[in-house]
Structure 1
Amino acid sequence: MGRIDCIAGIEINKKRETFFDFTTPYYMRKVVVFVREDNTNIQTIHDLRWQVVAGDRHSFVEEYFNQIGLRSQIRLYQTDSKETSMLLLQQKTIVAVIAPLEVGLYLAQKHHVKIKILDNLDPGSPVGIAVAKGNTKLLKQIEISLQKLKQEGTIDSIVAKWRSPKK
């Protein structure tokens, strides 16, 4: 109990590959920074200095913040879910949420949070299913099923259903 067998919909990157084994990617997504529309103090990602931002560890955005020297100047707060992060943004407990574009747009609409997006130049990140490092048996089973879903067009159909118009 308390052990995770797999995580679906996780960004694949070198840092996370030290903790997990991944399937082949099944789509690309863009991760962005969301702020409240009424927050006139935050116009660019550089305005996040000395602020509390909710987001994932080891994401493209965190790495980008490292590259531009911003990561050490913000407080990255990890929540149990993107939904919790969006609710904290709604309550003004935090000033920004780092999340996949489609997820953030969906949650903002669901919770009636008027948001704006700060671009962070994410070219898109591959997404797959992660398993515990070394669990090759489970990885192979998932990969076989994933390839079948890709061949049937099921994956493309699901992604298209949730893909948002470009913002």
Structure 2
Amino acid sequence: MKKLLLFVSAAFLLLAAACGQGEGSDSSEEKVIKVGAVPDGFPHTFQEDGELVGFNVDIFNAIFDDIGYEVEWVLTEWDGVLANLQSGKVDTAINFAATPERGEAYDFTDPYYSSKAVVATSSKDPKIESLDDLAGKELVSILGTNFENVLKENYPEEDYELVIYESTDVAYTDINTGKVDGFIYGREQLMAQISQRDIPLEIVDEPFGNQPVALPFQKTEENQELIAEINQSIEKLKEDGTFSEISLKWFDVDFLAEEQ
């Protein structure tokens, strides 16, 4: 009798353990992707009423919702985003130009749009009239961005001085007070800042330098599988108009149409 009771008790414990593992497996199977972003990068990622919103927020949510992941946003300054990506504290990052140099350290998904660079100057007291007028000028670039390299590639003969800032807000202030002459930055960010936030800058000449923007990942076999999933989603969301809709929402321009 005692042996029977022991057997029944053991069977009950095994069943309970199996049920517990089943319940736990649901939560353990939840797929989460950690994405590095800046909290004040209007219009790509910025906080509004305590919520992170923006062009890249919509893009990343669309991609990862499509392939069954939950996005966990990790917010720091841009140099912190780069450090977290390098150390593995985040899986990927927003608004990352897929350059050959960066390709030595990371594998990339297919681009989800192409960024261009521009030079901007004060709209109140313009110091630069054209991109052939950069000689002797002092231009600001932001730490960790690639726009100064794009400028050098496209205007290698121009003899200007480059100053690296950590904050776009300080850059805007110094340009408008005349402390520096211009700002080399992303076309998309500046278009939105000027039109929607009344930043007193004006864009000089035409945009230049076509920079594919993609999701970076550390070079692992597991990430190669994830990249393949993301690429399928990017193709799908371009074809069904989702990306065009998001672009029009934030910029009044369909950047995808420019690539066609």
Change (3 A) 1:121 1:90: closer
Deviates more, 1:13-22 or 1:119-128: 119-128
Change (3 A) 1:159 1:93: same
Count of residue pairs the alignment pairs up: 161
State the Cα distance separating 1:35 from its structure 2 match: 0.8
Identity among equivalent pairs (%) = 20
* Structure 1 outlier segments of 4+, above 4 Å: 90-93
State the Cα distance separating 1:158 from its structure 2 match: 1.1
Residues 3-42 of structure 1: CA deviation (Å, up to 9, x unaligned): 2221222233323323332211222232111111123432
Q: Does the CA contact (< 8 Å) of 1:11 and 1:125 recur in 2?
A: yes
Structure 2: state its 5+ residue gaps: 1-73, 75-82, 86-90, 254-260
Q: Does the CA contact (< 8 Å) of 1:36 and 1:90 recur in 2?
A: yes
Matched, 1:64 2:154: yes
Matched, 1:51 2:132: no
User: What is the match of residue 29 of structure 1?
Assistant: 115
Distance in 2, Cα, partners of 1:163 & 1:34: 18
Matched, 1:145 2:233: yes
Residues 76-113 of structure 1: CA deviation (Å, up to 9, x unaligned): 41425x55543543454543222222210212345432
Q: Does the CA contact (< 8 Å) of 2:105 and 2:218 recur in 1?
A: yes
Q: CA RMSD in A?
A: 3.1
Matched, 1:74 2:161: yes
Q: 1:105 aligns with which of 187, 191, 210?
A: 191
Distance in 1, Cα, partners of 2:225 & 2:177: 44
Distance in 1, Cα, partners of 2:214 & 2:249: 18
Distance in 2, Cα, partners of 1:138 & 1:94: 44
User: What is the match of residue 12 of structure 1?
Assistant: 98
TM-score (norm 1): 0.72
Structure number with the bigger relative contact order (C-alpha 8 A, sep ≥ 6) is: 1
Distance in 2, Cα, partners of 1:83 & 1:137: 39
